Every structure is written in structure tokens, then in C-alpha cells.
Amino acid sequence: MRYITICLLVLLLNACDHIDREDRLIYEKPVTTKRAVLLEDFTGQRCVNCPKGTEIIEQLVAEYGDTAVVAVGIHGGPLGFSGNDITLGLATETGDEYYYHWNLEYQPVGLVNRHGAVNYPEWAAAVKEELSKPASITLSAKVSAGTDNALHINITTMATDGTCNGKLQVWVLEDGITALQLMPDGTTNADYVHNHVFRQAVNGIWGENITIKEGETNTKEYTQAIDPVWNVKNLSIVAFVYNDSGVLQATKVHLQ
């Protein structure tokens, strides 16, 4: 009798683990976006799984647009590649500094509105959660290339829910860079197209202090020299305000 009970118990528990094929995935409606989300993708050309992270970013951008999902590919860390005489590298010292500052362990790994490290399978969930939160500030940016071979950047901020203290950070990004990338199947793709690649911090590695008062418009202007290796047509500007509670708002604008 005792053995029959044990067998029945085992069978019962085995039955509990079954999920019908059509129930394996749960459909969820797209969230209503209430703000932009900054997704910092800590990536590297020697990181075989990083293209998987990029795929997720592409899906999110396709769903919500690149002004709502502001993705930045920060090359650096142990799997970053800073280049040599033959091969173009995208890692920067600033990228390394960010990677080690956040005490990251693996690549790809992301920061979604700077609420701690998020592994790439969880990016979609974190981004959707952040998109549905209201923002306490508005942020817009304008950028143009002058005849002085420089970018002229205008950032406008305004608080909508009390005074905000934080740091304003402005970055230059570049799309469409063809450069080597190790792929998940172990192969090397010399013609991999890297998008939203972090190129330069315009106003210091950690930005500059800013106080944004409710109802008051605050405009800041920056000039950034264009590096000869950048393809001007593919540049964009990302600006965001952050403090200890994370990123308050972000924006992205392509160079016209």
C-alpha cells in the first residue's frame, strides 16, 4: 500500500510539470509608453553572445521606436576590442571606465535606466516596465553639423513634478559601422554592422550637475569636434538626466 501511495504521488507530481505547447508562451500587449528608457548595452567585439543582445535591442526598437528605447552599445570590458593596425576596434577607455564602475561581470549585460545590471534575456521585461512609468522631466535635443567640423548640440529640459537634481549627460553615437564581431556560433563576421555605438562623452564621463525646476525651461548648448573616423551621416546624440534613483528621462536625436 505504501509503495502504491508513493507511486501515485510521483505520477501526480509528474503530471503537474506539463504545459501544453500552446500555453508555453504568454502574450502581452505592448505597453503604453510614458517616457523614454535608456538601455546601456555593455558589449564587445570579442563577445560571442553580444549579437544575441543586439537582436533583442532590434526587436524592442522595432516595437517601440528608437526615441522610446534609447539603446547605446558601449564597447569595452574584458571582451571589448580597441583595435590594431589591421582591424577596427570600437572599445574606448570611457567604455572601460563605465564597465568597471558598474562592477559588471558578464557580457553582454545591460543597465536599464541605471537600476542595476540586467542580463540580456531580461532586457525586454525591464524596458517594458520602465516605459510604463511616468517621467518627472521632459527632455529634448537638437543637433546640427557646422562648417567648423563640429556638432552643435542643444539640450532642453523641464521638470513636470517638482524640482529635480541630477546630472545631465550627453553622448555621441554612431550607426552603421562595419567591423569585426565574434558570433554566437563561434565564427568571426568581418562585415558585422554595429549600430548605436557609443563614441564620445560630450560633457565629461559622468556628465555635469543640473537642477531642473518645475515649469522652467532650461537650455544647454554644447559643441563637439567631429572625429575624422566618424561617419557624420550616421551620428546621433543621446542625452539623459540621472541621479541616485536612476535615469529620469532620456532622448535621442539623429543628425539631420
Q: Are 181 and 201 in contact (CB under 8 A)?
A: no
Q: How far apart are CB 12 and another protein at their closest, in Å?
A: 10
Q: What is the CA radius of gyration of the chain?
A: 22
Cell of 137: 522631466
d(CA 237, CA 24) in angstroms, rounded, equals 40
d(CA 117, CA 156) in angstroms, rounded, equals 29
Q: How far apart are CB 118 and another protein at their closest, in Å?
A: 8
Q: Is the peptide bond before 108 cis (omega within 30 degrees of 0)?
A: yes
By the criterion CB under 8 A, which residues form the site for another protein? 6, 10, 13-14, 16-19, 21-30, 46-49, 59-60, 62-64, 103, 105-106, 117-119, 121-122, 124-125, 128, 182, 186, 188
Judged by beta carbon, residue 56 or residue 173, the one nearer another protein is 56
Q: How far apart are CB 213 and another protein at their closest, in Å?
A: 36
d(CA 54, CA 42) in angstroms, rounded, equals 10
Judged by beta carbon, residue 84 or residue 103, the one nearer another protein is 103
Cell of 114: 541605471
Judged by beta carbon, residue 17 or residue 191, the one nearer another protein is 17
Helix/strand/coil for 49: coil
Q: How far apart are CB 129 and another protein at their closest, in Å?
A: 8
Q: How far apart are CB 65 and another protein at their closest, in Å?
A: 12
Judged by beta carbon, residue 88 or residue 117, the one nearer another protein is 117
**37-43/69-75 β-pairing:** parallel
Judged by beta carbon, residue 120 or residue 198, the one nearer another protein is 120
Residue 16, classified by CB atoms within 10 Å of its CB into exposed (0-12), middle (13-18) or buried (19+), is: exposed
Judged by beta carbon, residue 182 or residue 235, the one nearer another protein is 182
Q: Where are the beta strands (DSSP E) in 160-201?
A: 164-174, 177-182, 188-194, 197-201
